[in-house]
Every structure is written in C-alpha cells, then in structure tokens.
Structure 1
Amino acid sequence: MTRLLVECTHVFKHPTVNSGIQRVVRNVIKQLPASAEDVECMPVILIGGGLYQVKRLAPLKSLKLDLIGLRVKLEQWASAFWLRHRALERRRPFSQSHFARRVLYVGCRLTAFACFSLPMRLLGRALKGKQIPERCVPLQHRAGDQLVLLDSSWHSDFFAHVERLKRDGVGVIAVIYDLIPLTHPQFYNTRLVEVFSEWFDWITRTADGYMAISATVRDQVREELQRRIGAEQTDKRWFDFFHLGSELDLHNSHATVEPRLKSLFATPEPVLLMVSTIEPRKNHAYLLDAFERAWAAGSTARLCIAGRVGWKCEALLARVRNHPELNQRLFMFNDLSDTSLEHAYAHASALVFPSFVEGFGLPLVEAMQRGLPAMGSDIAVFREIGGEFMAYFDLADPQSLTDLVTDMERSEVFPAPLGLEQWRWLSWREASAQLVERIERNVNPSAVGPQSQHAHCP
C-alpha cells in the first residue's frame, strides 16, 4: 500500500490565514479520501527535524494563552508596521530630507524593537522545547512513502529533512500553484522573488513528480525544468495537474454579514464584484479605469472590491480612498468573513477578474459554481477554467471591459456564449480525490483505474 504523506506545515502553524493557498490546503486536507486498498492518505507536518501525523488541523479551543498564535500575530503586526513606514518615507518631509528619513527610520527601529522584536524573542525562548503541538503525533516514515508538498513550502526550514527522507526511499511530489514570481517578478518584493527562486532550484533537484493546479501551469513547469536541467533530466520526472474545488469552508450560516456590505445589495443597481488580495498582479488599476469610463458614460453599476491588503498597493489604496465615487458607486472591504463573501457571491450581478496572470483563479470557480457569471482577463488559464461560460476582455484596452459592463447593464443579458445552467465544477471532495488518483496513477501506473472527470461540462 502506498502512503501519501500530505504536508500542511504552514497552515498547521497559521490556522487563521485564509488566502488562496491556505484555503486550498485546508480543504484538500479536510476532504482527503478514506484509506483504500492501494493508497493511504495522511496529513503530516515537518517541524524541528521531525515528521508528525496531523490529527486535527484546526487549533484546539483552550483557555490557555496561545503563545504560538501570539507570536504569529506579532509577526503580522510587524510586517504591517514596516509597510506603513515605507509609505511614510514617500511623503513630505521625509521624501525631501535625508535627515528626516533617518530620524523616522531610527524612531521606527526603536518602536519595532520594543513592540515586536523583543516580545517575539521572549516568546521564542518560552516556546523553545514546546514546538510539538497537541494536534499531532510522531510518525515513522517508510521507504516507498510519497511526501506531497501541498503547502507553501518556499519559506519553510525543512529542506534538509526532506532530503533525508528522500535518501531513505521516500518519494517527493511538489504541488505547484504557479511560477509567477519567476515569470513576472515585477509584481513581488525582491526578497520574495529570491526566496521563491531558491525554492524552485531546490524542488527541481529534489522532486520526483510535479502536480500543478491547472494544465496551463503543468506545461509551464515542464518547460521551466527543460530550460534549467535539459530535456533528458526532465523526462525522468512526471508532470500532472488537478483542479481545485469551490466551497467556502469557513462559511457559517449563523454568522452576521458585514452590515455595510449588506446595505450595498439592498438597492437594485447592479454590483460587480472583485475578489482577491490587493496587489499589483490583480490589476485593480485597470478595473478602476474601466469603471470610471462606464460611470462617465452614465452607468449606475457599482464596483465592490473585496480582499485583504497585500503589497506594493499604496498608490492603489490612495486612489480608492480619495476617489469621488467611494461609498457611492465604489466600495472596498478588506476583511470579509466567508459568511459575508458568500452573501456577496449570492447577491452580486457578476464577478470581474482583471488579473494579469494566475495559476488557477479560484474566485472565478467560487462565483460560477454559485450561479454568479464571471468576466475575466483573456489569458490561457481563464480560458481553461471558464471555456465559453465566461466573458473575456482585453487587458490592453480598458474600454473592452467598459463595453461588457454597459452592454450587460443595458440588455440585462450576460455576454457569454453559454449559460451557467450547464456549468458544473468539482467539489473539494472531488478535487482531493482527483489529486490522490493522479498521484497514484503516476507513482503506480498499473494500479490505477479510470481517472475522474475534471472539466466543467456536465
């Protein structure tokens, strides 16, 4: 029997983070198929040089002070603090005076040391020797096990441990969400690009197989390996993909919807929804350009931007906050719960997604699975996911999106060739089963039956 050790270390350590990869990891782990005759699936983490089987991914409810959680919060607050420092540096008088910038930097360093660095060091000492949480148990690996690196492992410290497992006969499978830090480094901070590139160098040397989240990314990964190590070495690895599910697993029907969001949908004018982290790759500036043209032409459509604040977005946030249509025809929410997001999907007129580049585009599937039609950038992966069920616009011309919005508003007909009544997509249970089936198909080709359907057709 093959044991699939599905790694989820980052989500285990940071259970409250709810962005794209964390959502995927949490849902795949939750829906891993029960052990069958030929394969056994178990979630695992790699901490402190040890391998542990996860018994519970969500944190235990406890009245005790959560020191690990507190340290994570301090790290998040410190990151936000230094983002604010960088924004202040660009303003007067700091932008015009080296002395003023120096004073600002020294003041911020002292503040950060007192408020963040020192408490984190003290917490580190308090947590020393207590890195094995109650939610997991030690696990002994075996030759023939397959370690599936499902989580975002590029910032992890377990590379040497994985290499030891590989020397002991454990197969290594890398789940690749995208190669965007390599192909479009301008969208990220320099350090993240360096870290991701170092990780990809490591995973190129270490992995036996690669599971992407779309056929588009699978092909990109194969091409990147051919470029780095040549066709002969690339042919010794295997490449496949699975598609993601669509349910919002943290939705709670008894939770309260954000009141300001609820009031947005209380009037009949159409609302177009954008769901994503606020960062340059998502192309929010294009979105504003297109809607400003629509509003200038008399459109009453409203734009609702939902997503946490990310990086390199100070100018975009300033544009939104100073926009004359803010809270009139332009709305932004940076901390919506899954319950509020479910409400937005249920009541919006369409989803709009102008991203420059994606590995998958999870909000598109989340929206369309709920009957909300979607407009997206005319890029390959969106065509793979949406087919003729979506409407597409040209990223070189904001007017193409403006025309889609105004035509839909005028005709009350969504401009896609096929209606969503024919749409079907995978559940997270089916997505997890597909992941396991395709890994097993590549690891043990003779032991696998027919593969599951992945397309969006009925």
Structure 2
Amino acid sequence: MTQSLRTGSSRPEILFDISRLLSRADQAIPTGIDRVELAYAHYLLAHRRDKVIFSALHPIGRYATLPFELSERFIEALLLCWDAENTDASPAKLGRQLQNALLFSRGPHPAGPCKHLLVSHHHLTRPRIIEKVLAKYRASFVTMVHDLIPIDYPEYARPREPKRHELRIQTVTRYAESIVTPSEPVSEAMRQRLGAAGRGSIPVHTIPHGVHRHAASDLPPAEAEEPYFVCIGTIEPRKNHLLLLNLWRQMVEEGKKPPRLIVIGKRGWENENIVDMLDRCPKLNSYVSEHNTLPDAEVVRLLKGSRALLFPSFVEGFGLPLAEALSLGVPALCADIPVLREVGEDVVDYLDALDGPGWKRAIQDFAADGVMRQAQMARLQRWSPVSWEKSVEMAVESMDL
C-alpha cells in the first residue's frame, strides 16, 4: 500500500455518506455493515474533523449535506448505544432531526472539488443519485464493496437480490475512482469486473475490517457448568447452521451428552429447514439455544466463556465474528474457505464445510479441551488483531483522503 504524502491542509474535503446509519438509528443491535459505517464516521471525526462533511439520502430521494454538530452528536449517541455503555443515548431522536435537516436545512458545501466516500451499499441501486451527487459537489467517488455473494451465489440470497446487487456493482464499476474491499477474493472479483468494463486502471485496495476494542472486552467470561460453543451470524443457508444442528442431533441420538450450542443472530431468509430444527426438534431443546438480539457486551462474555467459535459458512465477504473471537483469545473451528483463511491465518483449525465427521471429531476434542484445542490456544499467541482505527487509517490513506 502506498502511503499518502499529503499534509492536513492539502487533503481533499470528504463528503461522507451516513445514509445507512440514519436508516438504522432505531436499531438496538448493529449489523456488520452498520459497524463499518460507524467506525469510519468515528475515525473521520477524530482525524479528519476539518475536512469531513456528512451527507445522506432522505427516503423521499433528496440528497443533501448535514449540520456538522448534529451529525457528531448522532454518531456519538450511536457509539454509546451500540456499545451498551449508555442505554439512555438517543440516536433515534437525533436521527429524526437529521432526516428533517435533509429536507429543511442548508448544510455546509465543499469549498472545492472533494471526494464522496460511501462505505455501505446504500442507494447504489440508484445510479442517477450517485451521478447527481458527484456533479453537484464536483466530487470523485470512492467506495467500499463488501462482497459479491448475491451475484456469485444467488441461491443464498433473497430472490430479488441478485439483480439488485448486479446493479450496485455496475454503479461502482461505472463511477468509482477508488475502491476498498475487506478481503482479497472480493478485490480480485472487482478487478475482473473493472477490467471487463475497460476500467482496469481503477485501484482496488484490500483492507481488512477492524476489531472494536470497546469496554465489553474487559468483561469476565460467562460462567457455565458445562462446555459450550458459540455460532454467530444471521440465520440463513450460507451460514451452514444445518451442519451444526444435524451434528448436535446425531450426538444426542448416539446417547452421548453433547456440549451446548449457542446460536447468536437474527433470523434471515430462505431458512425454513433451519428454523424447523430450532423450533421443532425436541432432541435439541436441552442442548441448543437461540438468541436473536444480544447486546455486544453479552456476546463478548459468551465468546470468552466458550470452548470455541464455530464458523462453518459456505461463503463470506470477510468474517468479522472470527476476527472478534481471535482478538479475545477465543479459538475457532472454521470452514476451509479463502476469506476465513485470510482472517485466521495459520492459527485456526479449518474443515471442509461438508465434512460432518471431521467437524464432529473437532467439536468433541474442543469440548474436552483436547490436543487440537490446546495446540490452537498456543498458536493464538501469535495472532494480532487490526483495530478499527488502524483499518480505517489504512483505507483513507490508500484512497488519498
């Protein structure tokens, strides 16, 4: 990565889009992309305060800049709320005020040509909006692509998502002057897209997502009388929950008392078979629990008390739960896919996502704190997390912001 040589005064102004944060202001639990946009907003407030102008798209279609002080209060309230450090924070109220400001207030305007930074996929399905923003503010477009999963694996997406995501990627391919992705497989896919569109000179930077070191990291692990494992992620087919649920049922049927399995994540889509197992399989009732809206602090406590994180996904754009687990000193059993190897390096134990017997043997070893688990715990000492501050710093320097 080439480091920027710009001084603070010569850096361009940054028109930073917080449309997704505004749309999620009333949510108590953030998604992965929510965390990304919030981390960038927080970094820009701290390190590009004199250069950042916040902006967003109103639901009725008006795009405008936002009052700086109100935007700052909103971002700080989200940080407090989503970290569970202050449940009295009121991001939803501040978000409504910002939505009103989009319609009725005149926000700041860049003094000259600027860079428009969008790190969510919000409104990329509306290329005319992007085109108008770039023209109005004399901006070049720098953006993040999280994954191409709905295009490459349409069987794992909602029915309408493959076409919608194709439009998002077409918008990026047409307008972007610099692109960031969280993993090399996503970067390579975008380079191929750009090359096919005659824009192969557009730089694509691979910058891993960071790990948020919030106060919950210092919490003690959850106490449990029996060993347990944690699986984190939206309950949808590509996360491969069925593998784990079938293994747990098999262990019960064999007359063995299995460890507990804690499934953390909202229910997603195309997941009827998974939900049927969770809701209607009596053999799992005593050993599998489901939690849809746990605050970060409780997730951290459960991770720290677990035997391991289980991550059997068929495909991922990054693998943030893995990075968060390893940063807490928690081992992991992961599907053997390139993205997760990029995150877990040579520390984690990898298994084919369809290798049921292999997963079963590994789970039983880790439940008993066996040879495999002890070896990974030793390897964990050499794994170093990337902080969100460092991740965003690498990204903004790569994009010359």
Residue 276 of structure 1 pairs with residue 213 of structure 2: no
Which has the greater radius of gyration?
A: 1
Give, in whole Å, the separation in 1 of the partners of 2:214 and 2:369: 35
Aligned to 2:84: none
Structure 1 stretch displaced more, 341-350 or 288-297: 288-297
What secondary structure sits across from 2:293 in the alignment? coil
Residue 10 of structure 1 pairs with residue 27 of structure 2: no
Aligned to 2:209: 244
Residue 210 of structure 1 pairs with residue 224 of structure 2: no
What secondary structure sits across from 2:13 in the alignment? strand
Structure 2: runs of 5 or more not aligned: 1-9, 79-87
Deviations 1:336-379 (A, max 9, x none): 11121121112111000111111101000111100111111100
Deviations 1:85-113 (A, max 9, x none): xxxxxxxxxxxxxxxxxxxxxxxxxxxxx
Match of 2:245 among 276, 281, 288: 288
Assess, with a 3 A threshold, how the Cα gap between structure 1 residues 345 and 408 changes in structure 2: closer, same or farther: closer
Give, in whole Å, the separation in 2 of the partners of 1:329 and 1:130: 45
By how many angstroms is 1:137 displaced? Answer: 6.7
Matches within 5 A, 1:230-269: 233-247=198-212, 249=214, 251=216, 266-269=223-226
Match of 1:28 among 25, 34, 40: 40
Give, in whole Å, the separation in 2 of the partners of 1:130 and 1:401: 48
Specify the code of the residue in structure 2 equivalent to 1:224. Answer: R
By how many angstroms is 1:234 displaced? Answer: 2.5
Aligned to 2:271: 313
Match of 2:391 among 392, 408, 431: 431
CA contact 2:307–2:366 (8 Å) conserved in 1: no
Assess, with a 3 A threshold, how the Cα gap between structure 1 residues 325 and 16 changes in structure 2: closer, same or farther: farther
Matches within 5 A, 1:47-446: 47=58, 48-52=62-66, 53=68, 54-58=71-75, 131-132=100-101, 138-154=107-123, 159-167=127-135, 169-227=138-196, 229=197, 233-247=198-212, 249=214, 251=216, 266-297=223-254, 298-413=256-371, 414=373, 416=376, 419-440=379-400
Specify the code of the residue in structure 2 equivalent to 1:13. Answer: S
Assess, with a 3 A threshold, how the Cα gap between structure 1 residues 36 and 148 changes in structure 2: closer, same or farther: closer
CA contact 1:305–1:331 (8 Å) conserved in 2: yes
What secondary structure sits across from 1:332 in the alignment? strand
TM-score between both structures, scaled by the size of structure 2: 0.81
Specify the code of the residue in structure 2 equivalent to 1:241. Answer: T
Q: Kindly, what percent of the aligned residue pairs are identical?
A: 24
Specify the code of the residue in structure 1 equivalent to 2:63. Answer: G
What secondary structure sits across from 1:45 in the alignment? strand
Assess, with a 3 A threshold, how the Cα gap between structure 1 residues 319 and 419 changes in structure 2: closer, same or farther: same
By how many angstroms is 1:130 displaced? Answer: 6.6
Q: How many residues align?
A: 368
Give, in whole Å, the separation in 2 of the partners of 1:295 and 1:142: 67
Give, in whole Å, the separation in 1 of the partners of 2:336 and 2:363: 16
By how many angstroms is 1:266 displaced? Answer: 4.1
By how many angstroms is 1:406 displaced? Answer: 1.5
Assess, with a 3 A threshold, how the Cα gap between structure 1 residues 417 and 345 changes in structure 2: closer, same or farther: closer
Assess, with a 3 A threshold, how the Cα gap between structure 1 residues 156 and 56 changes in structure 2: closer, same or farther: farther
Give, in whole Å, the separation in 1 of the partners of 2:233 and 2:336: 17
Give, in whole Å, the separation in 2 of the partners of 1:327 and 1:249: 33
Give, in whole Å, the separation in 2 of the partners of 1:404 and 1:26: 36
TM-score between both structures, scaled by the size of structure 1: 0.72
Assess, with a 3 A threshold, how the Cα gap between structure 1 residues 277 and 36 changes in structure 2: closer, same or farther: closer
Give, in whole Å, the separation in 2 of the partners of 1:344 and 1:381: 24
Deviations 1:10-64 (A, max 9, x none): 1123224411101111122123374469x9344432441323353333469799x
Give, in whole Å, the separation in 1 of the partners of 2:370 and 2:55: 49
Specify the code of the residue in structure 1 equivalent to 2:282. Answer: P
What secondary structure sits across from 1:419 in the alignment? helix
Assess, with a 3 A threshold, how the Cα gap between structure 1 residues 269 and 371 changes in structure 2: closer, same or farther: same
Give, in whole Å, the separation in 1 of the partners of 2:202 and 2:281: 51
Give, in whole Å, the separation in 2 of the partners of 1:287 and 1:143: 55
